[in-house]
Amino acid sequence: MSRSLGVMEALRTVLPEWSLEAFVAATLFGDLLFVAPALVLFYLVDVGSSIRRGRREEPLCSDRTVSLIATIFGGLSLVVLLESMFALPRPPAEYHVIEPSEFGFPSGHTMAATVFWGALALWLPRGRRSVRIGIAGAIVALVAVSRLALGVHYLVDVVASVVFGAVYLATVGRLALDRPLRAFLAALGIALAAAVATGVNDRAFLALVGTAVGLVGWWLVEHPVIRRRVYGVYDRLIPDST
């Protein structure tokens, strides 16, 4: 049964060529090349804020931030798992503006954007929650439309991706929010399932290694000995910090 409802085809027909470069840029908001550095930056900002506050009995990175990062790792692994499970083709190649990966359902970029921006909107303690959710929704919609405009997904693909991402966030938020170890173990389980389902293809391997490194790195950094050394370096660099 075809997934095409004619929306993608209609968009590709009416969109001017000059607009496609803008959609190529917009799709990056759900791309791993954007999400991964953003997570690193987010972690470093939280650690820096913790060090400046000087609350040495507290974790260097808050439980909320670490569980959020682990949740996003799990969501990226879930994309790989679902794509392998459904293994549905993309639209015909004549519609493609960019060179896509193999499978077309769900939309990995749209689901990654849903998980990443949705997690930030729901769990970041900054600004009004309704504003955060509105901004996140707009970015997810932009990524979804960009995937249609670039001819690499059908409407069903992107809508299903938003649903999958939202259900995943609701589930993890209930079970593992502010529980970093539980969030990382859930992410690692999903990554292992994706590796088995795909025969450890490149994307599954990266998801598994990235999640494992994130878990081990978090544990090491939060070890009391390492934490004391981090503060020791900070005190030497900025003596007045004490």
| 125-175 tens-digit pLDDT | 777 888 999 999 999 999 999 999 998 999 999 999 999 999 999 999 888
The pLDDT value recorded for residue 38 is: 93
The pLDDT value recorded for residue 106 is: 92
pTM of the model: 0.88
| 1 pLDDT more than 60 | no
User: The tokens of 80 are what?
Assistant: 């790989």
The pLDDT value recorded for residue 237 is: 55
| 103 pLDDT more than 70 | yes
| 185 pLDDT more than 70 | yes
Question: CA quadruple 227, 190, 67, 241: dihedral positive or negative?
Answer: positive
User: The tokens of 71 are what?
Assistant: 């949740």
User: The tokens of 226 are what?
Assistant: 């390492």
Quote the mean pLDDT of the chain. Answer: 86
Q: For residue 134, which of 151, 122, 148 has the smallest C-alpha distance?
A: 122
The pLDDT value recorded for residue 177 is: 85
Residue 24: pLDDT band (50, 70, 90) is very high
Alpha helices, DSSP H, located in the chain? 7-14, 20-26, 32-53, 63-86, 108-123, 129-149, 155-176, 180-198, 202-221, 224-237
Residue 34: pLDDT band (50, 70, 90) is very high
Q: For residue 211, which of 199, 223, 193, 230 has the smallest C-alpha distance?
A: 193
More confident site: 183 or 1: 183
Residue 222: pLDDT band (50, 70, 90) is confident
